[in-house]
Amino acid sequence: MAKYKIEVDPELCIGDQACCADAPDTFEMSDDDIAVVKDPEGNAPDEILNAAQNCPTDAIILHDEESGEKVWPEE
């Protein structure tokens, strides 16, 4: 399974917490209610992708760790 380089765009994050529900060992909320990555390998890659796909504002950006290709959001 692919591993991801995970970024969260704080300008897009609205504090929905869907990512924390889908991948609680990878994401947590900051004091400002912005999602942050607490452990990029905290959840399985498919759970991390699911969390990114469920983000209502596409604030979670995933790149394949090996190739560097953008995986999510799709262009």
Residues with Cβ within 8 Å of residue 39, at least 6 apart in sequence: 25, 26
Examine residue 40 and say whether the peptide bond preceding it is cis (omega within 30 degrees of 0).
no
Domain extent, residue 45, equals 4-72
pLDDT, tens digit, for every residue of 37-61? 999 999 999 999 999 999 999 999 9
Give the CATH number, domain containing residue 19: 3.30.70.20
Residues 63 and 45: beta-carbon distance below 8 Å: no
- The sheet with strand 4-8 has its strands ordered as 4-8, 60-64, 70-72
The answer to whether residue 1 scores a pLDDT higher than 60 is no
69 vs 36: CA distance, rounded Å: 21
- 75 pLDDT band (50/70/90 cuts)? confident
Number of domains, the chain: 1
Q: What is the pLDDT of residues 6-22, one digit of tens each?
A: 999 999 999 999 999 99
The structure tokens 């394949």 sit at: 64
